[in-house]
Amino acid sequence: MRPLGSLMHHLRLVMRMAKSTGTDLVDAYDDGRLSQDEWAHMVQTCRGCQWSERCPGWLDEHEIAATVPATCPNRARFAALKAGQEMRQ
């Protein structure tokens, strides 16, 4: 089993991925679509991701992206949060 990455590093990756895809995690949290436990689970999932070493480079190249990369284990969660956000607009 591979060691988990730094908590703060992966928190930043999750936040950058959200920004890149236009997913407002703070709004999702504020309106109840994302609980504190779910947010923490997203970061923890990122910490264990095998692809996370390449994630910063992908984010550097994709300041704006329609979706997260297929390799992201949080892909479905980001998509659901984005869909909920778009329904509210």
In a domain, 49, yes or no: yes
Model pLDDT for residues 10-21, shown as the tens digit of each residue: 999 999 999 999
Per-residue pLDDT band for 86 (boundaries 50, 70, 90) equals confident
CA dist 34 and 57 (Å) reads 27
Total domain count for the chain? 1
Note down the domain range covering 27.
Answer: 7-88
In a domain, 2, yes or no: no
What count of other Cβ atoms lies within 10 Å of the Cβ of residue 34? Answer: 22
Model pLDDT for residues 8-54, shown as the tens digit of each residue: 999 999 999 999 999 999 999 999 999 999 999 999 999 999 999 99
In a domain, 12, yes or no: yes
pTM given for the model: 0.92
Half-sphere exposure of 25 (CA within 13 A, CB side): 22
What is the distance in angstroms between the CA of the first residue and the CA of the last residue of the chain? 42
